Structure 1
């Protein structure tokens, strides 16, 4: 990390960004979580994320995993499949996932929940800075932020972490961007990934085909957003510093950070974990 963090806005966050482009970007990121290239990939990003959960969350089946910035579904449905396949092979109970967001995508969530019985959702808007505790349940709560923590200002990010400390039992932040040369270079490879997504999943959509292959709005916008994400992502030390807040009781909490290589040298999954002691 050799340059200061910049709190810039991505095209997908702009009010004038068309909905079709936002959906294209969300789908490209969601499908990316399942990407596995034989002979190169060290599993998929989703598999690596599940490995992090299994490493740090003891008795994973006792948790509800709450995606508090789920968007249109994001990677949580992919992670649910990966994780519960592993738990089933081990003869353990499946882990439950809950989707919520300030701007609920109820139609998409309902479709996911119908297909995946271990995924549920909260239809009401939930602000990530003020998430209420999960209703009375025998399961503990782990909150996840998938490739979105860098979107928040320091003030909002600090509020999100404070709320997790006060009302949850664990939290995990996943990022695949960083302020380093390799990751910044990789962001422009998203141009080619966007074209692939268009061919496979949007081949029937004239608007997506036109703005990918005739006027390449989608590839350029998604590639540029990936680069901006790199400039916004916090280091482990910067994330930990956000927890140093007056009156915030961190006793009984343990914090871990690290990274897992997905596809050397470009794709690395970075994580920051907070766990309340039993």
Structure 2
């Protein structure tokens, strides 16, 4: 599937007309799926590589949604003796979700590492927050011009960059949307939300299955929008000053098909 052109279509939760509460339910479901799968193990590998090669342990997570997988990754790295400080950011920050993530972190790791957040809008293509930038499961949302601008901003500010998405594969297009939708259907009763949103989640999952349809549709589109490794290579080769960074592109072995792009400033 690497040889096929990337299809840049629109996901439903990206539409301006999508209600904010539905977008929140969507991103919260994604966080739940991260917890139910082996994503933290696979997704921690590229960040671990970057940290071993000199990237800052201050992590600036871009497009963090409702918290994303980075807090899970932080705990995984902590168990391996790697300690980090995480700052969650987003263009439209879900401050309440960030606060819940922060509180949960304090209960689990009260004396080590940290999680904080930026409550104002942070543009991933023009970021000024210092640290190692990560973007998990969201890079494909950016068309090539904006994706290149994000990487160029990292180069211009000499900020290490870790991009993790799923590799583009027929298997994932055909299989993963069904698994993701099944996870949404099974996990809805167990998600902890304020009562009003919990009831709304149940209604939009079982009575009028808007959320499962949205997850299925967006999953199919997501896998078609993923960048291939050759496309990522062309993207970094076209950056001004790309020779001042060391770039690595690869795939973590395993079920998740986690594909990564790592950029580390050279001394």
TM-score normalised over the length of structure 1: 0.84
Total equivalences in the alignment? 255
Q: Give the corresponding residue for 1:277.
A: 266
Structure 1 residues 10 and 61: alpha-carbon distance in aligned structure 2, compared to 1, 3 A threshold? closer
1:259 matches 2:251: yes
Q: Deviations over 1:157-208 (max 9, x none)?
A: 11100001111431111112x4321010122221111102212116963322
Give the CA deviation at 1:46.
Answer: 0.8
User: Counterparts of 1:61 and 1:243 in 2: how far apart (Å)?
Assistant: 18
Q: Paired residue for 1:268?
A: 257
Matching of residue 84 in structure 1 with residue 84 in structure 2: no
Match for residue 143 of structure 1?
A: 133
TM-score (norm 2): 0.87
CA distance in 2, matches of 1:14, 1:257: 30
97-106 or 225-234, larger mean C-alpha shift: 97-106
Residue in structure 2 matching 1:237, options 220, 230, 235: 230
Structure 2 counterparts to residues 113-152 of structure 1, below 5 A:
113-116=102-105, 118-134=114-130, 141-152=131-142
Q: Which has the higher helix share?
A: 2
Give the whole-Å Cα distance in 2 for the aligned partners of 1:146 and 1:181: 21
* Matching residue of 1:111: 100
Could you tell me whether the CA contact under 8 Å between 1:133 and 1:168 is conserved in 2?
A: no
Is 1:207 paired with 2:208?
A: no
Shift of 1:45: 1.0
Confirm or deny: 8 A CA contact 2:249 2:260 kept in the other structure.
Answer: yes
Q: Does 1:161 align with 2:151?
A: yes
After superposition, the C-alpha distances for 1:25-60 in whole angstroms (9 at most, x for unaligned) are: 212211222224xxxxxxx11112222222342267
Residues 202 and 142 of structure 1, relative CA distance in 2, 3 Å threshold: closer
Instruction: Decide which of 182, 188, 207 is 1:192's aligned counterpart.
Output: 182
Indicate the residue corresponding to 1:73 in structure 2.
67
Deviation per residue, 1:60-114 (Å, 9 max, x gap):
7952111121122111221122111221xxxx6x211111122122222233223
CA distance in 2, matches of 1:67, 1:56: 14
Contiguous gaps of at least 5 residues in structure 2: 107-113
Q: 2:210, 2:237 → 1: CA distance?
A: 41
User: 1:180 corresponds to which residue?
Assistant: 169
Q: Output the CA distance in 2 between the equivalents of 1:72 and 1:35.
A: 16
Task: Provide closer, same or farther for how the CA distance between residues 212 and 231 of structure 1 changes in structure 2, counting only shifts above 3 A.
Answer: same
Change (3 A) 1:65 1:168: farther
Query: For each residue in 1:197-252, what CA deviation from the matched residue of structure 2 results, as whole angstroms up to 9, or x when unmatched?
Result: 21211696332222222322211110110000011111111122223446x11223
Contact 1:184 1:227 in 2 (8 A): yes
Instruction: Provide the secondary structure at the position in 1 that maps to 2:31.
Output: helix
Q: Note the C-alpha offset of 1:254.
A: 1.3
Change in 2 beyond 3 A, CA 1:210/1:128: same
CA RMSD of aligned residues (A): 2.2
Contact 2:245 2:266 (C-alpha < 8 Å) held by counterparts: yes
Q: Quote the residue 1:138 is aligned against.
A: none
